[in-house]
Amino acid sequence: MKKRFNDTGSCNPQMHFIVDISNKLNKIIELIERGLYFTMNRPRQYGKTTTQFLLTKRLIQNEDYMFIRISFEGVGETMFTTETNFCQGLTGLFIKRTKQFYPSVSEFFTEIKDSVVNFDILSETISQFIAKIQKKVVLIIDEVDKSSNNQLFLNFLGMLRSKYLLRNDGEDFTFQSVILGGVYDIKTIKLKLHPDTSEKYNSPWNIAVDFNIDLSFSAKEIESLLADYSVYNKILMDIPVIAERIYYYSMGYPYLVSKLCKVVDEELLPHRKNQNRWESDDIDDAYKYLVNPEYSTTLFDSLIKNLENDIDLYNVVQNIVLNGFQLPFNVNEPQVNLGAIYGILSPKNGICVVNNLIFEQRIYNYLIAKKIVSEQKLNFVEAVGKYNPDGTLNFPVILKRFQQFMKENYTEKDIPFIEREGRLLFLSFLKPIINGKGFDFKEPVVGDERRMDIVITFNNIRDVIELKIWRGNEYHQTGLQQLSDYLDIYSLKKGYLLIFNFNASKAYKEELIHFKDKEIFAAWV
């Protein structure tokens, strides 16, 4: 079977191109050697299962260790109905998961399964097993989120906790290490166990240490993935440059790293004349492929679902994406914590940012599409004058049309709404104009919450428009300098400025500004 980039399930180095995560595995093994228990909690499709798979491969090679890796996914509801069903169901999982590598262990649990009818017997069985095997046994439980709101599962964790404490006192035999895998850290997840009880924080897992090992990939680690692929397929590329570009878009989110590579390899390369070389532009094209609203994956669907399911998180993320809202990254703040758990938010210089450019653009596109549907007024604009004779965009006309739209549809009483959603209104206004022939993306602006740069590529012509809130002439001059500097990045001499002015005496106006060597068309609304 030919190796490929994997975007479903765990990665196997015999079947897939994978990142060398030896350093991460070494750190995890160090925790295990110290006899520590912990939760490997990270967002969906963040490499948890692959890390567990590679970890077990390493443990197999050490004769002092034995591993049992189980998952509660797909076991059904019956296992969680009674104490007997749970204990015997768990024993059944032990039998199933040890049959291949440790047949004698599988036989041991098979012989005693019917007698394991409660937690006391299960605890004694584990002690007997550990004493008999005389190895350091590591228990890995994946997908614990599916069971963490069940009292029987919590009782099981409580049993493991008691055995852990007794082991440290030299009074019991139990697992060397227990690793729980899931999205949430079970030490802090809120639970509602019965309809007549209030939500509370569970405590059976307070013996666990914090898991601070970074499972995202650095640019250097991504190089190992590209090197494997390059040698295997005899593909030429500047590996450090390509790796940096992948990291730029993905911030090392494991699924996105693999997905970008997969798109280049399977979707872009076959349609090119030169199929034996990757360029940096290929990663740019893969990024555009992934953020196209017409393309979707379960991860992207989950991204939007998580926003829609929590209005407070939705509002925070919208303000960050569209309004440059600068919120300190504090995990004690519920929405920040939830955004981090889902992999949507991450810290940058102490401030909340969207985890990566792919997520940010997907959210940006979704917010615009939602606004277009809800604001029927946006459909009033006719096509006349929006395009130049050569097929490029006529931005002065577009900005004037937006002025007209705002004049006709919004008054002073709408100022609070416009302050909150004015930028989204413009982006929604712009989207149908470029749809099908162009691509727009929000460029991150660091350290200035009053501006937002939009880069638009239409018929292979690139334009830059900055959206800014009016804060007086001093800020205006600073904004012109910022736009000028940004235009230099793209070697452009023309730019556009849309200014939202919320002063009572504001005037709808346009101005052609010559700033240094730039020509900037500005419109006030």
The residue with tokens 């079970």 is 186
Quote the DSSP letter at residue 493. Answer: S
Integer Cα distance of 371 and 378 in angstroms: 9
Q: Among 41-45, 196-200, 285-289, which stretch is predicted with the lowest mean pLDDT?
A: 196-200
Residue 19: its pLDDT value, please? Answer: 97
Contact 288, 326 (CB under 8 A): no
Q: Among 100-104, 123-127, 297-301, 452-456, which stretch is predicted with the lowest mean pLDDT?
A: 452-456
| Tens digits of residue pLDDT in 463-504 | 999 888 888 888 889 889 989 988 998 899 999 999 988 887
**What are the structure tokens assigned to 268, written together?**
């872009």
Q: Nearest Cα to 420, choosing from 357, 489, 367?
A: 367
Q: Among 207-211, 330-334, 403-407, which stretch is predicted with the lowest mean pLDDT?
A: 403-407
pLDDT surpassing 80 at residue 359? yes
Quote the DSSP letter at residue 236. Answer: B
Percent of the chain whose pLDDT exceeds 70: 92
Q: Among 304-313, 316-325, 374-383, which stretch is predicted with the lowest mean pLDDT?
A: 374-383
Residue 148: its pLDDT value, please? Answer: 67
Three-class DSSP category at 404? helix
Question: Who has greater pLDDT, 382 or 162?
Answer: 162
Residues 286-291 have a mean pLDDT of 94
Q: Nearest Cα to 218, choosing from 3, 15, 5, 23?
A: 23
Q: Among 4-8, 259-263, 447-451, 476-480, which stretch is predicted with the lowest mean pLDDT?
A: 447-451
Contact 9, 35 (CB under 8 A): no
**What are the structure tokens assigned to 259, written together?**
């997905």
Contact 69, 52 (CB under 8 A): yes
pLDDT surpassing 80 at residue 382? no
Q: What are the helix (H) ranges across 134-263?
A: 151-168, 219-233, 239-250, 254-263
| Tens digits of residue pLDDT in 419-433 | 777 888 888 888 888
Residues 302-319 have a mean pLDDT of 95
Per-residue confidence band for 197, with pLDDT thresholds at 50, 70 and 90: very low
Kindly compute the dihedral angle of the four CA atoms of residues 239, 10, 61, 33, in this order, to the nearest 10 degrees.
90
Residue 460: its pLDDT value, please? Answer: 80
Percent of the chain whose pLDDT exceeds 90: 63
**What are the structure tokens assigned to 177, written together?**
């290490």
pTM of the model: 0.86
Question: Who has greater pLDDT, 159 or 447?
Answer: 159
CA torsion sign, 389 to 393 to 399 to 405? positive
pLDDT surpassing 80 at residue 417? no
The residue with tokens 């609070």 is 416
Integer Cα distance of 429 and 104 in angstroms: 68
Question: Who has greater pLDDT, 107 or 416?
Answer: 107
Q: Among 35-39, 51-55, 283-287, 372-376, which stretch is predicted with the lowest mean pLDDT?
A: 372-376
In Å, how far are 3, 50, 106, 223, 229 from 16, measured between CA atoms? 5, 11, 30, 15, 9
Residue 93: its pLDDT value, please? Answer: 96
Three-class DSSP category at 387? strand
Question: Who has greater pLDDT, 174 or 505?
Answer: 174
Beta bridge partners of 140: 69, 179
pLDDT surpassing 60 at residue 45? yes
Element (H, E) at 372: helix 357-374
Q: Among 126-130, 197-201, 477-481, which stretch is predicted with the lowest mean pLDDT?
A: 197-201
Quote the DSSP letter at residue 265. Answer: I
Three-class DSSP category at 140? strand
Integer Cα distance of 256 and 365 in angstroms: 18
Residue 444: its pLDDT value, please? Answer: 57
pLDDT surpassing 90 at residue 161? yes
Tell me how crowded residue 457 is: count the other CB atoms within 10 A of its CB. 15
- Across 82-96, 177-191, 410-424, 448-462, the highest mean pLDDT is recorded for 82-96
Three-class DSSP category at 449? coil
Angle between helices 239-250 and 357-374 (to 10 degrees): 40
pLDDT surpassing 90 at residue 408? no
Average pLDDT, the chain: 88
Residue 203: its pLDDT value, please? Answer: 62
Tell me how crowded residue 132 is: count the other CB atoms within 10 A of its CB. 12
Q: Which amino acid is at 53?
A: F
Question: Who has greater pLDDT, 305 or 273?
Answer: 305
Q: Among 71-80, 228-237, 350-359, which stretch is predicted with the lowest mean pLDDT?
A: 71-80
pLDDT surpassing 50 at residue 446? no
Residue 274: its pLDDT value, please? Answer: 86
| Tens digits of residue pLDDT in 57-107 | 998 889 999 999 999 888 888 999 999 999 999 999 999 999 998 999 999
CA angle 378, 382, 385 (to 5 degrees): 125
Q: Kind of pairing, strands 438-443 and 451-458? A: antiparallel
Residue 195: its pLDDT value, please? Answer: 42
Three-class DSSP category at 297? coil
Residue 377: its pLDDT value, please? Answer: 60
